[in-house]
Amino acid sequence: MSSFSVTEPSKRSKWVAGTLVITYALITMIPLVWILLTGFKSPADAISYPPKVVFDPTLEGYVNLFTTRTRQTQEFLNANPPQNWADEIVRQYDMVIVGPSKFGERFMNSVIIGFGSTFLSIFLGTLAAYAFSRFKVPLKDDLLFFILSTRMMPPVAVAIPIFLMFRNLGLSDTHLGMILLYTGVNISLAVWLLKGFIDEIPREYEEAALIDGYTRFQAFYKVVLPQAATGIASTAIFCLIFAWNEYAFAVLLTSATAQTAPPFIPTIIGVGGLDWPAVAAGATIFLIPVMIFTILMRKHLLRGITFGAVRK
């Protein structure tokens, strides 16, 4: 074989492309790495200038994130020796841990609301998309346009009416309310994305299943759903990322019971001065679930399982 090929990129172009991709990845990674590192810095290191890249790592930020602490007199501190390693860390500021912070609870709220609304959006979206794709729905085009039209302005534009509606319906500061709200915002995206994916699945598969003795619903979940997995996975990621990161509605509509992590994390700043390591620790932990979810879904994102079974 000669070294020249039309389809194979040359060694040099591979090298250039690789360098570009890695450089771009590194640049986008910098803020994330910065947050990750700050989480392990002491408050002094976190605000030192020039910024420290090499520092003594400490779990102070994480301890502060998960606990509430009070300052105590020297006599009290001497009378009560530290209970554990976390206690020991806060003693250097003459403090003792008096209990857990709200972070765990807020984080769980985020999990419940984020995954709950994602599940609901996908569930309703898949059924609606299947119906739009396969059945004769009266006013189909108008309905689809109507669903899309809910996306034509930023959701926050209707924050005040929603706030009033929620207050009257008793949905303010409830998990259910937030799940319904995020589902409402995500459903249009879910229906449109999933309809596209389901449109691409040839009808013959369901017809084959119908002929093979299955009902329409069995054909849907045994034959259509597995093939729509790619679409469902990517739609779920989009829905989760929106619901997980949403800040404005969460600030407005939640407080004591259903507050999610995004509005909570900034409040840490006010508690004991500018506690950047605790904020960074909160942000780091906050990133993990979406990351895990995306990695889990990644194998479904790879196309190709449907390749070749039907000749187009």
Partner 1 sequence: MAQIVVKNVKKMFGDFTAVRESSFTIEDGEFFMLLGPSGCGKTTTLRMIAGLELPTSGEIFLDGEEISQRPPSERDIAFVFQMFALYPHMNVRKNISYPLISQGMPRAAVKAKVAEVAGILGIQDILDKPVGGLSGGDRQRVALGRAIVREPKAFMMDEPLGALDAEFREHMAEELRGLHDRMGATTVYVTHDQLEAMQMGDKIVVMNNAVIEQFGTPQEIYDKPATMFVADFIGSPSMNFLKFQGKVEPGSDMVRLNGHDETVPQSLEAAEGELVFGVRPEHVFLSDNSSYRAKVLAAEYLGTTQIVTLQSPNGELKARIDARDTVGPGETVGLEFRSAMVTLFDQSTGRALRSVLNDEVLSNG
Binding site for partner 1 (CB under 8 A): 202, 204-205, 207-215, 218, 223, 226-227, 305-312
Query: Nearer Cβ to partner 1, position 205 or 264?
Result: 205
Cβ of 285: how many Cβ atoms within 10 Å?
A: 18
CB of 236 to partner 1, least distance (A): 19
Please provide residue 193's backbone torsions phi and psi, each rounded to the nearest 5 degrees: -65, -50
CB of 138 to partner 1, least distance (A): 13
Query: Nearer Cβ to partner 1, position 156 or 310?
Result: 310
**Among 224, 244, 200, which residue's Cα sits nearest to residue 126?**
224
Please provide residue 69's backbone torsions phi and psi, each rounded to the nearest 5 degrees: -130, 155
CB of 33 to partner 1, least distance (A): 39
| Structure letter (DSSP) for residue 258 | S
What is d(CA 177, CA 171) in angstroms, rounded to the nearest whole number?
A: 5
Query: Nearer Cβ to partner 1, position 202 or 289?
Result: 202
CB of 228 to partner 1, least distance (A): 11
How far CA 290 is from CA of 107, 120, 156, 163, 258, in Å, comes to: 12, 17, 23, 27, 20
Query: Nearer Cβ to partner 1, position 96 or 224?
Result: 224
CB of 222 to partner 1, least distance (A): 9
Query: Nearer Cβ to partner 1, position 228 or 261?
Result: 228
Query: Nearer Cβ to partner 1, position 150 or 218?
Result: 218
DSSP for 61-89?
Answer: HHHHHHEEEEE--HHHHHHS---SHHHHH
Query: Nearer Cβ to partner 1, position 85 or 307?
Result: 307
In terms of C-beta density within 10 A (0-12 exposed, 13-18 middle, 19 or more buried), how is residue 265 classed? buried
DSSP for 178-211?
Answer: HHHHHHHHHHHHHHHHHHHHHHTS-THHHHHHHH
Angle subtended at Cα 248 by Cα 290 and Cα 287, rounded to the nearest 5 degrees? 20
CB of 226 to partner 1, least distance (A): 4
CB of 215 to partner 1, least distance (A): 7
